[in-house]
Amino acid sequence: MSDINPYDYIPQPSVGVLYDPAARTRAALAGTTAVVIDAIRATTTIVAALAAGATEVVPYATAEAVRAEAARRPAGSAVTAGERLGKRIEGLDLNNSPSVMTAETIGGRALLLTTTNGAGAILDAMTAETVLVAALGNRTAVARRVAQAGRRVVFVLAGTVGTVACEDTLVAGACIEALTRETGGEAYHLEDSARVALLAWQAARDRLDAVFHATWGGRFIAQLGLDADLAACIAVDVAEVTPVARGDPPVITAE
């Protein structure tokens, strides 16, 4: 049984979900569209920043790399942001907060970002043919882009400090629902992992505020007094941007 490749039997194109952060480095993403989700808060922050007019978002694994890149760029051309365990990293301009990504704070400038979970997920996904960034806010825009590609799509979930995150699962399900709607439910085969996410979303979509607040990540952010960030994370279809990551280090721009 260990020699069986399930993708020799699963109709293509298909939709899958990587739930476990530890599985990312082993995943076969070549030739796929990868959609990275870190709902609380990194991918919501990236979507909000690009929707507010950021020229690009560049994710880094460390704060030191963010500072080094900021020093290389012309003064005033970039904003630095990042957190560790929810709190702004000392010396960076902003926290990883979608609620503060406005035209005034980020418009016309690059965002250099490091986060506890999301930045690493983006970096791990870069072996895919195309890498997109999704949140509830742009789930329909992402679904349209996925439908246009017509290839296997893998939702790459960031998780929370090495564990599966409920909120990421729900956003994957929301995107899958939108993809099903965009394609009339016929074009993509849902792998079992995708069906799990879709069923979770369908069960939770009418009570998102309560569910997000009940998650480990949601409770942690609420304890830090970042309720405005949680509100941003549960806003559905409020942005038309589709963030696409390219290069090394990956540069994320809106399309």
- Please state whether beta strands 56-60 and 110-114 pair in parallel, antiparallel, or not at all (unpaired): parallel
| Structure token digits, residue 172 | 């994957």
In tens, the pLDDT along 112-127 reads 999 999 999 999 999 9
In a domain, 144, yes or no: yes
Average pLDDT value for residue range 199-217? 97
Q: Structural domain tally of the chain?
A: 1
What is the spatial distance between Cα 27 and Cα 135, in angstroms, rounded to a whole number? 21
In a domain, 197, yes or no: yes
Three-class SS string for 156-197?
EECCECCECCHHHHHHHHHHHHHHHHHHCCCCCEECHHHHHH
Q: Which domain holds residue 233?
A: 10-254
| pLDDT(7) > 90 | no
CATH number at residue 21: 3.90.1560.10
In a domain, 2, yes or no: no
In tens, the pLDDT along 8-65 reads 788 999 999 999 999 998 898 999 999 999 999 999 999 999 999 999 999 999 999 9
> Percent of the chain beyond pLDDT 70?
99
CA-nearest of 38, 22, 50, 45 to 170 is 38
In a domain, 5, yes or no: no
> Percent of the chain beyond pLDDT 90?
90
The DSSP line for 2-15 is: TT--GGGTS-SSEE
| Structure token digits, residue 53 | 């007019």
What is the spatial distance between Cα 140 and Cα 56, in angstroms, rounded to a whole number? 21
In a domain, 3, yes or no: no
In a domain, 218, yes or no: yes
In a domain, 40, yes or no: yes
What is the spatial distance between Cα 150 and Cα 158, in angstroms, rounded to a whole number? 24
| pLDDT(67) > 60 | yes
In tens, the pLDDT along 140-191 reads 999 999 999 999 999 999 999 899 999 999 999 999 999 999 988 778 999 9
pTM: 0.96
pLDDT value at position 2?
59
Instruction: Assign residue 225 a region (left: φ > 0; alpha: ψ between -120 and 50; beta: otherwise).
Output: left
In a domain, 81, yes or no: yes
pLDDT value at position 153?
97
